[in-house]
Amino acid sequence: GWTMESFIDKEIERIRTLVGPKGQVIGAVSGGVDSSVAAKLMHEAIGDRFHAIMVDNGVLRLNEAQQVHKMLCEDLGVNLTVVDASDLFLGKLKGVTDPEQKRKIIGNTFIEVFEEKATEIEQQVKEAGGDYGEIEWLLQGTLYPDVIESISFKGPSATIKTHHNVGGLLDDMKLKLIEPLRELFKDEVRALGRLLKIPEHLVGRHPFPGPGLAIRILGEVTREQVRIAQQADYIFIDEIRKAGLYDQISQAFCALLPVRAVGVQGDRRTYEQVICLRAVKTEDFMTADWFDFPPAVLRKMSNRITNEVQGVNRVVMDITSKPPGTVEWL
Ligand code: XMP
């Protein structure tokens, strides 16, 4: 019968045959479940002939790039290069407030940075010679539902919002696509990740959008706004985990609203920003319900965010289902 152990063995064999004894594979990792599991599987199959790239676009979660490097590279041995391109991304995002424009800029800049790094790695690989052939393959962590969606229909999020991908690389770099997860559903990818010894907190992680905090910061994305969004998000998720609620929630994040509110601190009047808490439960992200936190948990979150995040004096909660709302604010 079909077991996850036999899937791993078969898939590793398939990858080795496909890539050949000297073949090279390149791929992007994001810190999400799918790309991490795909990367670890690839590492098991061909070791350092798989080259992972993580692009720090400046709108990731707090300390995300460092944590992914520690986990994937130091702990799991994946051959990973982290590129800090935050200045480039934030430069291009300067003055931009339109959400679709933000998505386009981040998607296009991602491809640009990824291609440049890939070309650099290709050069190094050539110079190293020896056991190494050319980079011919691009890893993608595509799941079965993605395959179905792209064949049969375009869901609302695909048509209403532009989800970025690295499809252009296939033509530009003449890379062939390798998709080890293409027959799996999300829960199967999680089971696979556990067997591959990927830490539980990563395997069970909520999804995070490609355009990152840029679509959770309403209005212009600046370093200062990113700092506020990162710190608030860190506290929110930390309290969710401490309350033991993380696994009951499908996705949770803070939105930084484009308004200021009057507040008071000591005997001083403040005029600062507003953080909105958003947590949803959903099966498929096409529809979603807002998550009902116990009041004591909300109180703790609100106190911590207003006390610890400089520049925020008010916390509100989003109690909108999807539809009519979407999960994200932008
Ligand atoms: P919405 O806001 O459309 O979100 O209800 C549904 C799911 O899709 C994610 N999402 C994105 N993911 N790039 C992504 O990679 C995007 O541009 C994007 N927009 C929304 C969202 O986080 C939720 O999980």
| Ligand 1 pocket test, candidate residues 289, 327, 330, most atoms within 8 A of CB | 327
Structure confidence by residue, pLDDT tens digits, 83-115? 999 999 999 999 999 999 999 999 999 999 999
> What is the tens place of the pLDDT at every residue in 118-142?
999 999 988 887 777 889 999 999 9
Q: Which amino acid is at 106?
A: I
Contact 326, 296 (CB under 8 A): no
Please state, in angstroms and rounded to a whole number, the distance separating the CA atoms of residues 85 and 101: 19
Indicate the pTM of the whole model: 0.93
Distance CA 98, CA 101 (A): 5
Instruction: Establish whether residue 143 lines the binding site of ligand 1, counting it when its CB lies within 6 angstroms of any ligand atom.
Output: no
How would you label 57-83 residue by residue, b for 16+ Cβ within 10 Å and e otherwise?
bbbbbbebbeebbebbbeebebbbbbb
Q: Which residue from 213, 235, 172 is spatially nearest to 59, judged by alpha carbons?
A: 213
Q: Which atom of ligand 1 is nearest to the CA of 322?
A: 5
In angstroms, what is the span from residue 23 Cα to ligand 1's centroid? 34
Q: Does ligand 1 have an atom closer than 6 angstroms to the CB of 327?
A: yes
pLDDT at 156 over 70: no
Would you say the ipTM is above 0.95?
Answer: yes
Cα torsion 12, 205, 280, 311: sign: negative
Tell whether the model's pLDDT for residue 215 goes beyond 80.
yes
Compute CA 53 distance to the chain's CA centroid, rounded to the nearest angstrom.
13
Q: Are 216 and 258 in contact (CB under 8 A)?
A: no
Sequence-distant (6+) residues with CB within 8 A of 166 are 28, 110, 111, 114, 138, 140
170 falls in which pLDDT band (50, 70, 90)?
A: low
Ligand 1 atom 9, closest CA? 209
Per-residue pLDDT at 55: 98
Is 37's C-beta closer than 6 angstroms to any atom of ligand 1? no
Instruction: Kindly state the percentage of the chain with pLDDT values over 90.
Output: 87
Annotated binding site for ATP: 30-36
Binding residues: 30-36
Integer Cα distance of 236 and 231 in angstroms: 9
Please tell me the distance from the alpha carbon of residue 114 to that of residue 5, in angstroms, as a whole number. Answer: 32
Quote the pLDDT of residue 159: 40
Residue 169 has a pLDDT of 59
Q: Are 232 and 285 in contact (CB under 8 A)?
A: no
What's the rounded Cα separation, in Å, for the pair 39 and 132?
Answer: 19
Q: How far is the CA of 264 from the centre of ligand 1 (A)?
A: 36
Say whether pLDDT at 155 is over 90: no
Whether ligand 1 lies within 6 angstroms of the CB of 322 is answered as yes
DSSP state of 80: E
Tens-digit pLDDT profile for residues 43-74: 999 999 999 999 999 999 999 999 999 999 99
Report how far residue 113's alpha carbon sits from residue 118's, in angstroms, rounded to the nearest whole number: 8
Residue 141's pLDDT is what?
95
Which of the pair, 167 or 17, is modelled with greater confidence? Answer: 17
Alpha carbon of 100 to ligand 1 centroid (Å): 12
Ligand 1 site-directed mutation target among 98, 108, 150, 161, most atoms within 8 Å of CB: 161
CA 219 to chain centre: 21
Task: List, in sequence order, the alpha helices (H) in the chain.
Answer: 4-19, 33-46, 64-68, 86-93, 99-128, 144-152, 156-160, 168-172, 186-195, 200-203, 223-242, 295-308
Q: What is the pLDDT of residue 173?
A: 64
pLDDT in tens, 259-286: 999 999 999 999 999 999 999 999 999 9
* Residue 246 near ligand 1, beta carbon < 6 Å: no
In angstroms, what is the span from residue 17 Cα to ligand 1's centroid? Answer: 35
**DSSP 8-state class, residue 198:** -
Cis ω on the peptide bond leading into residue 209 (within 30° of 0)?
A: no
Q: pLDDT value at position 166?
A: 53
pLDDT for the residue 319: 98
**Ligand 1 contacts CB of residue 328 (under 6 A):** yes
CA-nearest residue for atom 19, ligand 1, is 209
Give the chain's mean pLDDT. 93
| CA distances from residue 269 to 146, 262, 264, 272, 313 in whole angstroms, order as listed | 50, 7, 5, 10, 10
Looking at the DSSP assignment, which residues form a beta bridge with residue 275? 256, 315
Q: Which atom of ligand 1 is nearest to the CA of 253?
A: 22
pLDDT score for 126: 87
Residue whose structure tokens are 């061909």: 46
CA 127 to chain centre: 32
**Is residue 285 lining ligand 1, measured as CB closer than 6 Å?**
yes
Q: Which residue has the tokens 């049969």?
A: 152
Per-residue pLDDT at 160 exceeds 90: no
